[in-house]
Chain A
Amino acid sequence: MTHAEIQRLLGAYALDAVDGDEAEAVELHLRDCPRCRAEVNDHREVAALLAHAGTAAPAELWTRIASSLEEPPPGFQLARVTEVRPRRAVSVRVVAALSVAAAIVVGVLGVKVVQDGNRLDELGRPRPSQQLLAAANAALVDSAARRVTLLSPDKQLSVNAVLLPDGTGYLVTNNLPPAAAGDVYQLWALVGTSKISAGVLGARPSLVAFKVDAGVGALAISRERAPGSAGGPGELVAVGELRPQPA
């Protein structure tokens, strides 16, 4: 279907009034068309007002829902990392650590990775700025900071991170192999049940600053097709749980 044909369907689509095959065509189109997405969202807001009834739901309904809520938060499911070939660990000290190549902002909490310069050193990794090095060093010696090591299931791959009480964190060292062509690493924060992207780390992650919600319970790194996943994480490469923040 052409753009114009899809556009004519948007009102009916927003009201669930198209058949399955057409709905699929619209959904495919919406992925790449922000203008049509915005129109559908607008139509749904109008429809929401049409549903405005000013009545309450049956009181016992909440009791039924509350009694069926599951309590324990699910953690990250570790994916196998068979495609990542074991490799000699590259110990990268902070002073020699390197920077993030690219970052995107994804997620409901406005989580973001602080971008740094893109200069390349002899290893082909971007070099961090002096400010980033200084900030990471300061975090490492901060007594209020929490340390966490993200590990692969076979413990061969590790990423060390430090997280300050305000949610600012740094991935300081790692032995992740370069991602395959067309792949990137992506950092995720587990906040409650939500897995929120904390930024794309590029194919050769090094010293990275990031910002997460202070309530984060775990960090994970996944491998994604470039430019990264705007949905949930794909194959998880390493995971680390954070101990509760000291009182």
Chain B
Amino acid sequence: MLDSLRDASDASLVVAIGRWRQEALAEAFRRHAGAVFALARRVLGDAAPAEEIVQEVFLRLWNQPDKFDPDRGSLRSFLLAQAHGRAVDALRSEAARKRREDTEARMTATAAYDIEHEVMDLAMADRMKEAMAALPTDERRAIELAYYGGHTYRQVAVLLDQPEGTIKSRIRAGLGRLRDRLVSEGVGLGWQES
């Protein structure tokens, strides 16, 4: 049974989760929890709240598997989008509390967002690093601050001292450029189990 689940598509796993098969959830966890945890930890800067978010995201998959629609994207992007949203919410409520001491921390955190300093050991991560590095610097910084930093585009505009409209455009254009590059290199946008 476990062997068959290892070969199952993500969509099939979710169907099995809908039938209360715990081993299907375990397989989804094996495939995706690492990325979910890494993203939450990166945004929050701390492992403990990141673990909470992983737990919430996988429990929600267990309780409401029908929320995942395979026609709208991969299971990984679905789980990551939820984790990111939760992490950002946590960050912003925390940020409201600590607004006074924000300036210094912001500078420190901003320096740590640089994706080129990340240790990533998978080929896909390397390709993404290359794709990010190939972006115009302005677009890369805007995406990093928004995605890893959990800042709104308005906050990013303040941090980078640019008009809000410019930041909106840079984020969108940068994501589009990344997509085009990955597609031209034959990288499927839906995550596949290897």
Contacts and interface: CB of A to CB of B under 8 A. Distances in A.
Contacts of A41: 72-73, 77
B146 interface: yes
B73 A192 contact: no
A83 interface: no
B26 interface: yes
Given A58-B47, A193-B20, A215-B19, A53 B29 contact: no
Contacts, number: 197
A51 B19 contact: no
B136 interface: no
A53 B32 CA distance: 10
A121 interface: no
Interface residues of B, number: 78
A54 B70 CA distance: 23
Contact of A54 (B22, B65, B122, B151): B122
B179 A46 contact: yes
A78 interface: no
A147 interface: no
Please tell me the size bucket of the interface on A.
35 or more
Interface stretch (B50-58, B93-101, B104-112): B50-58
B18 A43 contact: no
A61 B54 contact: yes
A7 B143 CA distance: 17
A11 B172 contact: yes
A193 B66 contact: yes
B185 to A, nearest CB: 12
Given A44-B73, A47-B81, A66 B22 contact: yes
A122 interface: no
Interface of B: 11, 14-15, 17-20, 22, 25-26, 29, 33-39, 42, 47, 51, 54-55, 58-59, 62-66, 68-70, 72-74, 76-77, 80-81, 84-85, 88, 115, 118, 120-122, 124-125, 128, 132, 143, 146-147, 150-154, 156, 165, 167-169, 171-176, 178-179, 182, 187, 189-191
Interface of A: 7-12, 14-19, 37, 41-58, 61-62, 64-66, 68-71, 73, 108-109, 191-196, 213, 215, 232
